[in-house]
Amino acid sequence: MRIPELLIPVGGPELLSTALAFGADAVYLGSEALSLRARADNFSLEDLKNALGLTHELKRKLYLTVNIFAREGDLAQGIELFQQLAAWEDKPDALIISDSGLIALSRQLCPDIPLHLSTQANTTNSESLRFWYGQGIRRAVLARELSLGEIQAINEHTPEDLELELFVHGSMCMSYSGRCLISSFLTGRDANRGDCAQPCRWSYALMEERRPGQYMPVEETGRGTYLFNSRDLCMIDHLPELIRAGAACLKVEGRMKNELYVATVTRAYRRALDALSKSEDAYRAILPWCREELLKITTREYCTGFYFGPPGEAGQKPKSSVYRQDYRYLGRIREDERGLYIRQKNKFSAGNLLEAIGPGDRSIPFTVSAFETESGEIRKDCPHPGEKLYLHTNAVLHINDIIREKKHESD
């Protein structure tokens, strides 16, 4: 079975080494302009040059997102960015793009960089793909609303050198192909220009028009109800079906997610794909471990999206769409002249049972006897997020290991 590329999101420079270390074939990221994740850390042009160097040194690929729907005032930024990229010797392996004006400008100003069509273009049929192929597109991220049957039919009627990229995991937008106006209406922040406030994730109540100000709860859980909040996509059990439908690339959503998410999802899908490259039996054997791993990140209840038909028709009756978080992210192992350290992300204490995870299935349970700050202070607790902490432990840890802790019932 032909194994597709595994494409992992990188929201900022801190996440790049994690994605590459844990098994990404390719990464996608945004610069400080024209990206649909305006509030991610994103990459300055200098960061982007460094990222290209690291990625290409490891023989991996880097795709740059330029996928906003540009307004007139954005075009100057697009021209400047494309001119700068054209002058670089080391260039992105493709631009992920959706706006037809930006596509035209990119072909004019940096014609040697391949173009991948973003899911924002909501492409749903083979004739649309033929049109985009004529505009220079060589890979398309199809609309998330398509079924596997529709995708396979599209694949059979498009040029052989036009690749299909399918979402395999992550958050799902409740609006058609992510083209949402709710954020603009409620907050003035435009989702189609990368600044979504995610109002679909908010808790809502019901008000009857003749009783203004009297809010009646519609309870999904004790925390409230989330009327527009979709469940998360997870296709770990269905990789062979995606491949048979024509997927050349499997894409993970999550440029706003942390290193624990990137590491966990990447290694789960990497192990599944590597097993599938041997046989479907090997893949089925590794699935229980993969499923368990994917429950160790902050996630909503999983579903298979529209791949097997509209969710209601596919027997996926809506259940809870609130987050579950069974594990706490503590930090990533780094190194300086004094030794291994983490930038603490959440509070934990000496003596707690922790877990270090690395590429493949490497998982090391361990404890620390104490923490040491940059100033040399020895502590048993670390209440200040962001502190640089050297861990006193007998465990053998490695650079880029991710440290997590199972949450306790009292948390």
Q: What is the CATH number of the domain that holds 375?
A: 2.40.30.10
pLDDT of 178: 59
Asked if the structure places residue 193 within a domain, the reply is no
Asked if the structure places residue 185 within a domain, the reply is no
* Distance set, CA 387 to CA 325, 340, 342, 367 (Å): 23, 14, 8, 19
278 Cβ contact partners less than 8 Å away, ≥ 6 residues apart: none
pLDDT of 228: 64
Asked if the structure places residue 242 within a domain, the reply is yes
pLDDT of 364: 95
Q: Which two tokens stand for residue 59?
A: 């023989």
CB atoms within 10 A of CB 110: 20
* Distance set, CA 319 to CA 12, 20, 232, 302 (Å): 33, 35, 12, 10
Is the same domain home to 292 and 362? no
What is this structure's pTM? 0.87
Is the same domain home to 11 and 95? yes
pLDDT of 188: 72
The residue to which tokens 């982007």 are assigned? 48
pLDDT of 230: 74
Q: Which two tokens stand for residue 272?
A: 């599944």
Whether 119 shows a pLDDT value over 70: the answer reads: yes
Structural domain tally of the chain? 2
Q: What is the CATH number of the domain that holds 36?
A: 3.20.20.380
Tell which wins on pLDDT, 1 or 11: 11
Q: What is the 3-state secondary structure (H, E, C) of 219-235?
A: CCECCECCCCCCCEEEC
Q: What pLDDT, in 10s, does the model give residues 265-297?
A: 999 999 999 999 999 999 999 999 999 999 999
Whether 311 shows a pLDDT value over 90: the answer reads: no
Whether 118 shows a pLDDT value over 60: the answer reads: yes
pLDDT of 255: 86
* Band of pLDDT at residue 176, cut at 50, 70 and 90: low
* Band of pLDDT at residue 325, cut at 50, 70 and 90: confident
Of the candidates 248, 271, 303, which is a domain's last residue? 303
Of the candidates 259, 288, 303, which is a domain's last residue? 303
Ranked by mean pLDDT, which of 25-34, 201-210, 274-283 comes out on top?
274-283
pLDDT of 214: 78
**Which amino acid is it at 19?**
A
Is the same domain home to 21 and 86? yes
Once rounded to an integer, what is the mean pLDDT over residues 207-230? 68
Is the same domain home to 341 and 398? yes
- 86-90, 120-124, 162-166: lowest mean pLDDT where? 120-124
80's enclosing H/E stretch is helix 75-87
Once rounded to an integer, what is the mean pLDDT over residues 369-373? 94
Asked if the structure places residue 367 within a domain, the reply is yes
Is the same domain home to 258 and 333? no
Q: What angle do CA 307, 39, 30 make, to 5 degrees?
A: 70
Whether 40 shows a pLDDT value over 60: the answer reads: no
| Crossing angle for the helix pair 13-21 and 45-57, to the nearest 10 degrees | 10
Which residue from 230, 180, 177 is spatially nearest to 201, judged by alpha carbons? 230
Q: DSSP for 103-151, please give it.
A: HHHHHHH-TTS-EEE-GGG---SHHHHHHHHHTTEEEEE--TT--HHHH
Distance CA 117, CA 164 (A): 10
Tell which wins on pLDDT, 317 or 366: 366
pLDDT of 312: 61
Is the same domain home to 333 and 391? yes
Whether 319 shows a pLDDT value over 60: the answer reads: no
Which is it for the CA torsion 130, 134, 139, 140, positive or negative?
A: negative
258 touches 345 (CB < 8 A): yes
Is the same domain home to 46 and 133? yes
**Mean pLDDT of the residues in the chain:** 88
Q: Which two tokens stand for residue 155?
A: 């694949």
Distance CA 375, CA 333 (A): 19
Tell which wins on pLDDT, 202 or 362: 362
Is the same domain home to 295 and 340? no
- Three-state DSSP class for 75? helix
Once rounded to an integer, what is the mean pLDDT over residues 32-46? 73
Is the same domain home to 290 and 362? no
Whether 70 shows a pLDDT value over 60: the answer reads: yes
Distance CA 277, CA 3 (A): 6
Phi and psi, residue 270, nearest 5°: -65, -45
Is the same domain home to 250 and 352? no
| Beta-bridge mates of residue 132 | none
Q: What percent of the chain has pLDDT over 70?
A: 84
By residue range, what is the domain housing residue 10?
Answer: 5-172+230-303
Q: What angle do CA 299, 318, 6 make, to 5 degrees?
A: 40
Is the same domain home to 262 and 334? no
Which residue from 15, 67, 77 is spatially nearest to 265, judged by alpha carbons? 15
Distance CA 26, CA 2 (A): 17
